[in-house]
Amino acid sequence: MAVNIPGLIAVAVFYMIILATGVWASRKAKQEEKKNTGTATEVSLVAGRNMNIILGIFTMTATWVGGGYILGTAAAAYNPTKGLVWALMPVQYVTNFLVAGIFFAKPMRDKKYITMMDPFQLKYGDTLTCTLLIPAVIGDVLWIACIMASLGTSLGEGLEAGLGYNRQAGCRGNRSERDNNRGVAAAEE
């Protein structure tokens, strides 16, 4: 198993840039927090309610579009029996953003809500809100697992390091094991 050295260097440089950007943004956020009159929660979660439309669009896109979304859409579009018609997530995301922006954004902003659960908490109380949060938390945990799996697969393929998940064997495997299993699976079909 050979490691792709230029790929490894590129990944290391990329993550160093990400780290430097995070440190810079953290320092800038602390400076902005001192200037802002809102609560610490408002500053952290909704940028002190001073976010313009362009920044809001990019923030929502970055929040929702991750490795699982990109790889899943590419896999659906690549499948010769389905094609681009079955890559439905972009349509669903755009529809969701439009509906939320048109119908929910202004009333929620006017009432100074921070999360989507705030109206439910005010109307129905803490018990129902906690019950509604359970599926959201489970979904977030599974989404994070999807992001990590896609990151491992992308790095494994890009660096030729065999980091991906082996579905046929049900475990991680190196490239030759995966290729052998793919051949066996193709022969069985």
The 10s digit of each residue's pLDDT in 83-127 is 777 778 788 888 988 898 889 888 888 898 888 888 889 999 999
In this prediction the pTM is 0.56
- Asked if 94 and 120 sit in the same domain, the reply is no
Q: Which residues contact 110 (CB under 8 A, 6 or more apart)?
A: none
166 in any annotated domain:
yes
Instruction: Looking at the structure, tell me whether residues 122 and 154 fall in a common domain.
Output: yes
pLDDT at 169: 44
DSSP 118-187: HHHHHHH-HHHHHHHHHHHHHHHHHHHHHHHHHHHHHHHHHHTS--SEETTTTEE--HHHHHHHHHHHHH
> Is 51 within the bounds of a domain?
no
- Cβ neighbour number for residue 147 with a 10 Å cutoff: 15
Answer yes or no: are the C-beta atoms of 101 and 179 closer than 8 Å.
Answer: no
- Chain segment 6-43, per-residue pLDDT in tens: 888 888 898 899 999 999 988 987 887 777 777 777 77
Within-domain flag for 73: yes
Per the domain annotation, does 41 fall within a domain? Answer: no
Tell me how many domains the chain contains: 3
How far is residue 181's CA from residue 183's CA, in Å, rounded to a whole number? Answer: 5
Looking at the fold, whether 103 and 119 belong to one and the same domain comes out as no
Range of the domain at 80: 66-112
Between 173 and 33, the higher pLDDT residue: 33
